[in-house]
Structure 1
């Protein structure tokens, strides 16, 4: 373990430090006097310097960013041979600069010795998480290196006649506990056992007359002794055919999930704190949520590779020598040829949960665009249709206007500061059908706003569902604890109990937020069936009384083709002069490539998708990447 990790400027100002020592470390003084001040450091060079420095019993890994005047230093005892020190310094430098480079550059331009308005304490979570990962990998490497080679031991084993003698030569790794039930058995002194399934056959077929009688170990005697014990009822596993199958105690199929012990393949979470890597701070100091394309780049790479392979196979196998007629170029696309290709494209889209009427509309748009036109050079009709459909999907999913929610909130915040008499918080209301995750995703939005240090009020306007108010209260308590821990914004809750008019409660919540000068008011509403006119009719009154700045509909990626009617009904429920502002599609982590609901809702209403839910944690919120969605749909 390192003794000190410090980030300081060439002017001697410490920007961030995570030290295990109680006083200033002498290795830092040696580094400054022997390396940084000396001519060896090439003061006129603009290139970064990554080097190693040794003094007494310590080793110093450091990296200097010359254009910023920032130095990253890791100090550890030389005897430890910290193999990941160089990579740790490089990783920490990359993360730190991605977060604070703009502030440092701005301070340099203004001649300030210390970057203003920079809270470097939030870097702690990033650093602790990275160190934990490196230490876990280092422990695994040590364990694999220390694992003894068992083959020579097996060859030199004497003939044993009892289990007691067998235990004397059992080899146990010094890094493993001998009474750990989850540790794999590394003892190779046991002879080859039954093949898979043989034990089950022995149980059902009576006694096994072909037992291994080898005198290499006392396994046979041990088995005979065990058989005399009182029989214990075996666990059962229900097979795919509905029949019960008895399983052995040694089987990997564990039926008891009540134990707190991790499974053999379970990974240990060394950092139970909130993962702040779900977003980043931009140059304006706003905390911006990642898009799905940033979160899953490997998915996009796989799509491109598979598309290339599919195109190659299609050109080579389907068309054989006749494919030259299609891809040389200049071929006029007729209606029959387009219909044949578009039929296959329509089926493909419907398999991705795109509604039939939406798929028909998209295919008709592509057909109108391509009919009578000529293919490009070395391009087949199939490739031309695919390219046109990709463009059509991209146009559908791309918003027609800017949906910068943070910009609008900041704008109202500035207006409130400039106005002494009038104060109006920014109001966001969440609506949707039952069970789509409105309260959960409302809390995710609240957590994101808290990272931007807003003062947030959550209004419990679901006065119908039992437990809705209590659910929000738990979320608010958890978020308040997290904000206090991370020194973020402030959050409170407004409630008036059950059985009240939701529109009136929302109006009271906004008035409370106005008097207490909250930046944002988030309004939770009751879930309702989109085809129930009695339930949907109250939304128009709600929209008029609450008059929120943004109305967000939470849709579900699992709903499939019914999402078209859901989106239309909710969009029309607020009256002729008010519509939805954007969609938040939840549970996208459960559908894989079947993300057709995104297209269904946007195509049927013209309302864009702004956020996507990818899990149950507060950080499982992403902005929609149009390219990511289109590539999944066309994969």
Structure 2
């Protein structure tokens, strides 16, 4: 049963709607409406290629009529498996356009006239005209909906009859020598049937073991499930004998102290320790990539810039032209319905309405281009589908028109996806929290940022880069060493804290902005260490706490539960996922499972509030050149912005992304 159905114009005007339950009627007019959420979180961001959108307990599906700028939306309880929704939307779209196309065409034309500044009669677009014009639509809708519901009911009954017909086969009499399976003469429920099936599987598995399992393993004839005891050593496969590694000898005699000193190249003997520390610290800061100081005296991270001699939006035109040309060979070698590339120009001469077949070769070429730019295949498919949906039904005048239309649609789609929904100004968020008014009995809590991610992506190194940027802005930073598993993790942060604290001392010798490390060693509870670090930072007037966590794979449930516990107990202000720019399809899997696990496990522990990923920090950005598709994949999956990208080995190698630069790099040749 449906909950809500509506027909709207892309400009936001609702032409017709129907709610089938009181709750859905009240929800449709509120900000929590699944239809309003669909518009905000899917349609505006260009996520129109998804099969369906879920919000709370609702599932939403939709379809477009681009030539009339209409959106058909259906909402229902997602627990219901309604198989007829797609067919219903298609039928409603066809009938509505067939019945009311002249009225809608006039209405759309009047909207365009208003937008262009022309004078239009006021009553041309009033809701009263909609109610009068679509008066007979309710009866048509009810009839169509009833036909699909009746058809679905008949299919359910047919499936039940088929199940009942096959029931005797499932309950057939098992072999009499199996005591775990009862006779089919006795009545059996679903649990009994399930036990019978499992028993049959166990018997078949046992027979396979008697035929010869791997490693000489056999199953006992008594059915106890234990391995039979071998009677001789020959029943076991041969095993390698354990060998003791011989100690390596470097000479006839042990090296003397003078020999050891001559082989020690770790220190420059001619350089004093102070000079050495000064030289090493200078190597950790690249003056050419330091952040710029704005008028307010705050340091801003430099923007990542994509520089290419042929850069610009003309690259989009080249990409689309190559996409068209790349289909010529494929078309000549296959007998597809679209034909050769030459037919494309023939069919696109003059004014015509674009169809899916017209756009298919162009979108296929665009998908291949996006994948070459390291965009995950799943995301490339969805982006191209969304571009196709926005173009089907539009009128073009020739090859140049379709080229321009695809160019604009693709650039718009990429820009929508990459445009952040929330602020990426981390410094502003920190200062807002530190300057917010408090009661006289309350202590100010520091701003906390948790860094999460898989193993080996560079969480600790890029945490140190963020820390350097914060101390540039005169903030006191506490680093919490919550990676209590990886050997050397605490020592690595200790080196970073020492270097950063020396860099944080100003010319007057003021060490207020020095960095401190909070550690409790290895093998401890990470959530408890983070809680102690935040309390210590609060009592000692630290401004920011950066929490380093252990790397973990997204499929490791125990470790993901431990991470969710840390998040739920300490409720950090930001959760940054640290990922590599080198990954393609893996980025989708990592982010999806990390975000889902954090939300699920954090809701079941602590305060019960769901917490997901709030932003991303992409590392190794300098290794991918213009193949920056990971940024598109990560943003598409989470809907969250990329706060920083790491692009080097010094503390200043941190950059911010501009949407236009990323789009330009993706569309470049």
**TM bucket normalised to smaller:** 0.5 to 0.7
Decide which of 485, 489, 503 is 1:482's aligned counterpart.
503
Pairing 1:502–2:514 present: no
Pairing 1:428–2:455 present: no
Pairing 1:299–2:308 present: yes
Q: CA 1:538–1:511 in 2, change beyond 3 Å: closer, same or farther?
A: same
For residue 458 of structure 1, give the secondary structure of its aligned residue in structure 2. strand
Q: How many angstroms does 1:438 deviate by?
A: 0.1
Moved more, 600-609 or 455-464: 600-609
Unaligned runs of 5+ in 1: 1-257, 261-268
Q: Find the counterpart in structure 2 of residue 458 from structure 1.
A: 479
Instruction: Give the Cα separation in 1 of the matches to 2:572 and 2:397.
Output: 50
Equivalent pairs counted in the alignment come to 365
Q: CA 1:326–1:419 in 2, change beyond 3 Å: closer, same or farther?
A: farther
Instruction: Give the Cα separation in 2 of the matches to 1:341 and 1:314.
Output: 5
Q: Find the counterpart in structure 2 of residue 82 from structure 1.
A: none
Instruction: Give the Cα separation in 2 of the matches to 1:417 and 1:457.
Output: 22
8 Å CA contact retained: 1:416, 1:423? no
Decide which of 571, 586, 590 is 2:619's aligned counterpart.
586
Moved more, 489-498 or 310-319: 310-319
Pairing 1:286–2:298 present: yes
Q: CA 1:506–1:303 in 2, change beyond 3 Å: closer, same or farther?
A: same
Q: CA 1:582–1:321 in 2, change beyond 3 Å: closer, same or farther?
A: closer
Q: How many angstroms does 1:444 deviate by?
A: 0.6
Instruction: Give the Cα separation in 1 of the matches to 2:320 and 2:359.
Output: 18
**Deviations for 1:485-511, whole angstroms, at most 9, x for unmatched residues?**
567932111111111000000000000
8 Å CA contact retained: 2:477, 2:515? yes
Q: CA 1:510–1:344 in 2, change beyond 3 Å: closer, same or farther?
A: same
**Deviations for 1:520-551, whole angstroms, at most 9, x for unmatched residues?**
00000000011111211112211111210000
RMSD after superposition: 3.1
Q: CA 1:310–1:602 in 2, change beyond 3 Å: closer, same or farther?
A: closer
Moved more, 327-336 or 393-402: 327-336
Q: CA 1:311–1:572 in 2, change beyond 3 Å: closer, same or farther?
A: closer
Unaligned runs of 5+ in 2: 1-265, 269-279, 329-339, 604-609
Q: Find the counterpart in structure 2 of residue 361 from structure 1.
A: 382
**Deviations for 1:12-39, whole angstroms, at most 9, x for unmatched residues?**
xxxxxxxxxxxxxxxxxxxxxxxxxxxx
**Deviations for 1:263-317, whole angstroms, at most 9, x for unmatched residues?**
xxxxxx9x85541643212233221112213xx4x33753556556667889999
**Deviations for 1:556-593, whole angstroms, at most 9, x for unmatched residues?**
11121111010011112223411110001111111122
Q: Find the counterpart in structure 2 of residue 555 from structure 1.
A: 579
Instruction: Give the Cα separation in 1 of the matches to 2:468 and 2:384.
Output: 40
Q: CA 1:616–1:419 in 2, change beyond 3 Å: closer, same or farther?
A: farther
TM-score, normalized by length of structure 1?
0.53
Q: CA 1:439–1:486 in 2, change beyond 3 Å: closer, same or farther?
A: farther
8 Å CA contact retained: 1:286, 1:452? yes
Q: CA 1:565–1:274 in 2, change beyond 3 Å: closer, same or farther?
A: same
Q: CA 1:621–1:376 in 2, change beyond 3 Å: closer, same or farther?
A: farther
Decide which of 332, 335, 353 is 2:353's aligned counterpart.
332
**Deviations for 1:356-383, whole angstroms, at most 9, x for unmatched residues?**
2111111111111100102368734234
Q: How many angstroms does 1:330 deviate by?
A: 3.8
Q: How many angstroms does 1:628 deviate by?
A: 1.4
Q: Find the counterpart in structure 1 of residue 633 from structure 2.
A: 600
Decide which of 610, 626, 629 is 2:643's aligned counterpart.
610
For residue 552 of structure 1, give the secondary structure of its aligned residue in structure 2. strand
Q: In the TM superposition, what are the counterparts of 1:14-413 in structure 2 within 5 Å?
A: 274-275=286-287, 277-293=289-305, 296=306, 298-299=307-308, 302-304=311-313, 306=315, 330-375=351-396, 379-413=400-434
Q: CA 1:406–1:419 in 2, change beyond 3 Å: closer, same or farther?
A: farther
8 Å CA contact retained: 2:481, 2:548? yes
Instruction: Give the Cα separation in 2 of the matches to 1:416 and 1:606.
Output: 31
For residue 433 of structure 1, give the secondary structure of its aligned residue in structure 2. coil
Decide which of 578, 581, 588 is 1:564's aligned counterpart.
588
Instruction: Give the Cα separation in 1 of the matches to 2:350 and 2:500.
Output: 60
Q: CA 1:503–1:329 in 2, change beyond 3 Å: closer, same or farther?
A: farther
Instruction: Give the Cα separation in 2 of the matches to 1:417 and 1:449.
Output: 23
**Deviations for 1:291-350, whole angstroms, at most 9, x for unmatched residues?**
213xx4x33753556556667889999999999768877432111111111111111111
Query: Larger relative contact order (C-alpha < 8 A, sep ≥ 6)?
Result: 2
8 Å CA contact retained: 2:321, 2:403? no
**Deviations for 1:235-272, whole angstroms, at most 9, x for unmatched residues?**
xxxxxxxxxxxxxxxxxxxxxxx9x9xxxxxxxx9x85
Instruction: Give the Cα separation in 1 of the matches to 2:392 and 2:317.
Output: 25
8 Å CA contact retained: 1:439, 1:524? yes
Q: Find the counterpart in structure 2 of residue 439 from structure 1.
A: 460
Moved more, 379-388 or 340-349: 379-388
Instruction: Give the Cα separation in 1 of the matches to 2:538 and 2:420.
Output: 31
Instruction: Give the Cα separation in 2 of the matches to 1:460 and 1:405.
Output: 22
Decide which of 640, 654, 659 is 1:621's aligned counterpart.
654
For residue 479 of structure 2, give the secondary structure of its aligned residue in structure 1. strand
Q: How many angstroms does 1:432 deviate by?
A: 0.3
For residue 440 of structure 1, give the secondary structure of its aligned residue in structure 2. helix
